[in-house]
Structure 1
Amino acid sequence: MAASAFIQAGNGRFRPDAFIGRVATILVTDETSLLFRVPKIFSLRLMSLSHIALAALAGLVCAAALLFAAGEAASRPTTRLIGPPPSDFPARVVTLPGPFGGSVSGWFAPGQPGKGAVLLLHGVRSDRVQMLRRARFLNRAGYAALLIDLPAHGESSGDRVTFGAREASGVVAALDYMRRELPSERIGIIGVSMGAASTVLAQPKPAPDAIVLESMYPTIDDALANRLRMRFGPIGASLAPLLLWQLPFRTGLSTQDLRPIQHVSSLGAPLLIISGADDRHTTWAETQRIFDAAAEPKELWQVNGAAHVDLHAFNPEAYERRILDFLSRHLRDER
């Protein structure tokens, strides 16, 4: 190996990159090497530091572009045509005045007088159909049921999904409708995930007579970190700030606007808080924090074996028994 090969022409300086590259080539490809005996077709080229830096920069740019696109996709409205209720569900289509001149769409099924009424609120990127099976068993038990599409979901208007903040206006509109239609009935709410967060962030006044919160996140920071950790492993949570910084310019909101745990104590209604024991989107420890922050009267139900799933579909018999017991104690007119 000639020493002149490692001297930079013109200034006589030693070229470490050339030296390292040649040594690496010998170690990897030279059949006489005592350290490596690898076929030449697997030979490696050592990239220069500048190439590595450029590759790293390109990777960061691609990652940033992907996260930017993810932020756009997460907040994009998820509207679709729902249409009339199923023929075997005794409900009618309702259209309620929504925020900023928009509308909130839903189905309303009357119940038996004095039995109470329940507002049903779906999760993120879903619609009222998610709550149809709950509405069926409640209506069979005599409850009136209102299922709505939260703003920017289903057939309801809205320009951005905001994870409960502006969806809260749909909760208020639905409760106003129920109080007009059913002035003598006690009213409860069942909210799932974002529907639960929308309920808490709405801070409805007057307070409902009973509230069920299912699989609700405590803060948007927790919710996003958990989901990124599930997808990318432990390093995923460190990516959360790259998505959260998009929140203000996409929605006009800050992370401080999406902290249901800070408002759950002021709901002023009996609470049943439910979550799956194996939920990784909202961990059991986070659910326990929410329960600890809530005011009395309150109840906590851990659904063993359940992840972040439809808890009614997971165990219909246990779910219906627990929900009907809770609602009957708070919504039934005993006069």
Structure 2
Amino acid sequence: MNIRWLVLAVLLSAGVSVALLYGAGEVLSRPATRAIGPPPADLHARSVRIPSGSEEFVAGWFAATTAKTGAVLLLHGVRSDRTQMLGRARALHRQGYTVLMIDLPAHGESTGDRITFGAKESAGVIAALTFLREKAPGERIGVIGVSLGAASTVLAKIESPPQAVVVESMYPTIEEAVADRLAMRLGPFGATLAPLLLWQLPARTGAKPEQLRPIERIASLGAPVLVASGSEDQHTTWAETERLFHSALAPKELWRVEGAAHVDLYAYNPSDYERKVLTFLNKHLRSNG
């Protein structure tokens, strides 16, 4: 009798786990769309809608300058929107950079029916880069991508690479990203449940796990890259960040943000961020470096 009850308890527990993870898959891939509204007056930007498919578009803010000393595309993290990048945009604009901030597909005011962890978001990145080249002809272009924004950039097949790329808090593979997050919430055992989330990917997003491995694509960027992450980040561990850096081709730089977890690295320490990232961008966008 005791054995029978034990078996039933195990089966019930397994069933509950599967149901919870199935629900988690729905929540994680659900669009994070919302109204954003006009840009803040101090940014001197205008709202734009950039076509990214037959009936798709990405929404954003475009702040041009007359300095002609470089343009930067800013890409937010998962379930966020362009407002996450306002601090960076203001800092860059003060330095004379033209700035484009977009909502990635299925975020903010952009179209999209599912968050796909970089697979379909990469089309929005390509569309935004095309727009930026048209509106800032002849200027050297940089990209700053945070988490999902970073992965979407690295996974995009960009025909004309930018001249500098900053990737922040980017996962190396979707398998590790899922395992890390489950382990944070459920302990070491949680990582073993990752396959229960991953098998949902193709049905929910149209992307297979093998398509979501930025570590296998970062060497194809064709641009100088700055890889940044927090020393205490458990969503993407420092060991994983180091592997990403080692997979990238030179010229490359690695920035360990001491004490930072999986947070907005600009908000965590604006002065250090501006010093490190602006130095990197100035080197590659305003010189022959």
TM-score, normalization by structure 1: 0.84
Pick the aligned partner of 2:257 from 294, 299, 303: 303
For 1:74 and 1:68, how far apart are their aligned partners in 2? 10
Partner Cα separation in structure 2 for residue 137 and residue 296 of structure 1: 26
How much has 1:203 moved relative to structure 2?
2.8
- Confirm or deny that 1:81 pairs with 2:81: no
Does 2:139 match 1:189? no
1:63 aligns with 2:20: no
Structure 1 contact 113–185 (Cα < 8 Å) conserved = no
Conserved? CA contact 1:115–1:333, under 8 Å: no
Partner of 2:55: 101
Equivalent position SS for 2:74: strand
Structure 2 CA distance, aligned partners of 1:218 and 1:300?
A: 15
User: Could you tell me which of 141, 160, 163 is aligned with 1:209?
Assistant: 163
2:100 is matched with 146
CA–CA distance in structure 2, aligned partners of residues 66 and 271 of structure 1: 38
Residue in 2 that maps onto 1:288: 242
1:274 correspondence with 2:228: yes
Q: 1:180 aligns with which of 112, 134, 139?
A: 134
Per the alignment, residue 90 of structure 1 pairs with 44
1:85 match: secondary structure: coil
- Give the C-alpha shift of residue 330 in structure 1: 1.0
Cα distance in 1 for partners of 2:28, 2:175 equals 14
Q: Which residue number corresponds to residue 192 of structure 2?
A: 238
Given that 1:114 and 1:333 are in contact with CA atoms closer than 8 Å, whether structure 2 keeps it comes out as no
- 2 CA distance for matches of 1:132 and 1:89? 9
Q: Provide Cα deviations, 1:18-57, integer angstroms capped at 9, x if missing partner.
A: xxxxxxxxxxxxxxxxxxxxxxxxxxxxxx4323322322
SS in 1 for 2:69: coil
- The counterpart of 2:118, out of the listed 161, 164, 170, is 164
Provide structure 2 residue ranges, at least 5 long, that are not aligned to the other structure.
none
Could you list the per-position Cα deviations for residues 149-207 of structure 1 after superposition, in whole angstroms to 9, with x for gaps in the alignment? Answer: 00000000001100111000010000000111111111000000110000000131211
Match of 1:317 in 2: 271
Shift in Å at residue 115 of structure 1? Answer: 1.3
The worse-fitting range, judged by mean Cα deviation, of 57-66 and 279-288 is 57-66
- 1:118 and 2:91 matched: no
Q: Which residue number corresponds to residue 53 of structure 1? A: 7
Q: CA-to-partner distance for each residue in 1:303-329, whole Å, 9 max, x for gaps? A: 111111111111110100111111111
Paired AA for residue 225 in structure 1:
A
Is 2:123 the counterpart of 1:136? no
Asked if 2 retains the 8 angstrom alpha-carbon contact of 1:127 and 1:148, the reply is yes
Counterpart-to-counterpart distance in 1, 2:68 and 2:52: 28
Aligned amino acid, residue 289 of structure 1: R
CA–CA separation in structure 2 for the residues paired with 1:233 and 1:72:
22
Q: Is contact 1:107-1:147 (8 Å) kept?
A: yes
Identity %: 60
- Bigger drift between 109-118 and 258-267 goes to 109-118
SS in 1 for 2:42: coil
Once the two structures are superposed, residues 58-77 of structure 1 have per-residue CA deviations (whole angstroms, 9 ceiling, x without a partner) of 22212111111100111111
1:239 is paired with a residue of what secondary structure?
Answer: helix
Say which SS state the counterpart of residue 7 (structure 2) adopts.
helix
Which structure's CA Rg is the greater one? 1
What one-letter code is carried by the residue in structure 2 that aligns with 1:127? D
Alpha-carbon separation, structure 2, partners of 1:56 and 1:279: 33
Give the TM-score normalised by the residue count of structure 2: 0.97
Output the amino acid matched with 1:105: A
Larger relative contact order, structure 1 or 2 (CA cutoff 8 Å, min sep 6)? 2
Q: CA deviation at 1:333?
A: 6.0
Tell me, which stretches of 5 or more residues in structure 1 are unaligned? Answer: 1-16, 18-47
Shift of 1:100: 4.3
Aligned match of 1:224 in 165, 170, 178? 178
SS in structure 2 at match of 1:230 = helix
